[in-house]
Amino acid sequence: MTLLAGTRQARICAALAALFLSTCAARAQDTRVDCVVEPAQKLKIGSATLGILKSVPVNRGAAVKAGDIIARLDSSVEEANVALSRAQAESTAGIEAQQTRVELYKRRLERQNQLSKGIVTQEKLDQVEADYEIGRRDLQTEILKHKLNGIELQRAEAQLELRMIRSPIRGIVTERLMSAGEFVRQDSAIFTLVQLDPLYVEAYLPVSRWKEIALGMPATVVLDQPIGGAYEAKVSVVDQVFDAASGTFGVRLELPNPDFKLPGGQRCKVAFPLPPAGPLATALPPNAEFDAK
């Protein structure tokens, strides 16, 4: 009799374990929702100025870093302006010449002051003082011109920089729309770039789950084939406005992709952490207590 009771208890325990696992699996399946993996940014890159494309050193599929030169416009005029402005900004000849004049006027004024008033007329003394003061002001003017030349150099360099098309992000070139020799307008797109680190995982959940999702919450993203695999992501955006027509709200997760191993534009499933479950006793079959006896 004892052996029979033990056998029944073992069967009940096995049934409960199987039921618990199946319940957890069902709940896990229920928490998985469809999602789409997209690039964090997709940019159309153009030029701020008009001109002829001189070179386009990158092509479709190339990986670029923020600040890399990905195209150049013809800049022969701007380069010449920079060279002229740099020569003017680096020259201090005007300042040095005026400093020499001021020193001369200063020594002349000191000699005049050492002489007695009977020897030097007041008119002569006033003239020497005026020359010294005018020389000092001319020196300040030369210093100001030197500063303005430095500003002019900065302006010329900025104009030259506008002829360089740089990547604003670290990403991948997905399209090259123009080639060297073509005329670039201000509304022309030369490249399409995408940012793949991080990837954005976009999902829509029923409004009944809105309180379950919080910023920074980890979730598991399972990619569809042929990529496959499960990856950890974190919630970065939870929409504060529901879609009344579908009864859903949007959630965005950030999926790290530092090596660009995962492509964008693919479907996936995302599983959020399970909410707290009820007592295990509620999952017991109706006859479990009777059978155990």
Provide the whole-model pTM.
Answer: 0.69
Give pLDDT, residue 186: 85
Q: What is the reported pLDDT for 169?
A: 95
**Along the chain (293 residues), what's the average pLDDT of each consecutive run of 10 residues?**
50 50 45 92 94 95 95 95 94 91 86 69 80 89 94 95 95 95 92 96 94 94 93 96 95 95 94 65 41 40
Bridge-based pairing of strands 32-46 and 189-206 is antiparallel
What's residue 131's pLDDT?
85
Residue type for position 89: A
Q: Where are the beta strands (DSSP E) in 94-188?
A: 164-166, 171-176, 183-184
Q: How far apart are CA 144 and CA 140, in angstroms?
A: 6
Q: What does the pLDDT read at residue 1?
A: 44
**Which residues are registered as beta bridge partners of 243?**
248
pLDDT at residue 51 in the model: 94
Residues in a beta bridge with 218 = 234
Residue owning tokens 């001109």: 51
Three-state DSSP at 129 gives helix
pLDDT (0 to 100) of residue 27: 47
With beta carbons less than 8 A apart as the criterion, state whether 178 and 138 touch: no
Provide the pairing of β-strand 248-255 with 230-238. Answer: antiparallel
Angle subtended by helix axes 122-161 and 76-90, to nearest 10: 150
Cis before 198 (ω within 30): yes
CA distance 141 to 267: 68
